[in-house]
Amino acid sequence: MHSLQRRIMEILDGSTHDYASKIVEWMITFVVLTNCAAVILDSVPDIHAEYKDIFHEFEFWSVMFFTVEYILRVWTLGAKYVESSWKGRSEYVFSPFGLVDFFATMPHYLHMFLPGLDLRILRVLRLLRILKLSKYNTALQD
């Protein structure tokens, strides 16, 4: 189990020499970019009126994708330090990338558990997903 945890951590960490890691990076990049395009298109009233169900479905599956990624990162980073699994996990959770990952999906869950609340203003947090790209693009890291 520990070797599986470490292997997933290596894949998610993004080694340039690892084929699986490159695939995961491209997948995350694709989902982030399509999410940003969907947020922009969904803000156009005519497009929203015609395709709102598709946008809602896409948002749901995107949040599930990002949630699985977040959970896997938290779980696997427990293998980063032998002496304390929570050290690696807390480093990620409170890092800029961990906070972006959390706050980019949080509005969906708030809306799911508190459907009566008007959380439209929090939808802009979905655009935080574009910040995830800075992890995979060296030009954005500078």
Q: What number of CA atoms fall less than 13 Å from residue 133's CA on the CB side?
A: 14
CA distance 9 to 127: 25
Helix (H), strand (E) counts: the chain: 7, 0
Average confidence (pLDDT) over 72-101: 88
**Residue position matching structure tokens 């491209």:** 26
Q: What's the pLDDT at 103?
A: 83
Q: What's the pLDDT at 45?
A: 93
Over residues 52-70, the pLDDT tens digits come to 999 999 989 999 999 999 9
CA distance 16 to 63: 26
- % of the chain with per-residue pLDDT over 70: 81
Tokens matching residue 12: 């998610």
Q: Are 12 and 73 in contact (CB under 8 A)?
A: yes
Average confidence (pLDDT) over 1-18: 84
Angle at 141 between CA 137 and CA 142, to 5 degrees: 130
Over residues 65-86, the pLDDT tens digits come to 999 999 999 999 888 887 888 8
Q: What's the pLDDT at 139?
A: 44
Name the 3-class secondary structure at 130: helix
Residue 115 φ/ψ, nearest 5 degrees: -65, -20
Is the per-residue pLDDT at 124 higher than 80?
Answer: no
- DSSP codes joined into one string, 37-48: HHHHHHTSHHHH
Over residues 114-123, the pLDDT tens digits come to 877 766 666 6
Residue 124 φ/ψ, nearest 5 degrees: -65, -25
Average pLDDT score over the chain:
83
Query: What value does the CA radius of gyration of the chain take, rounded to a whole number of Å?
Result: 17
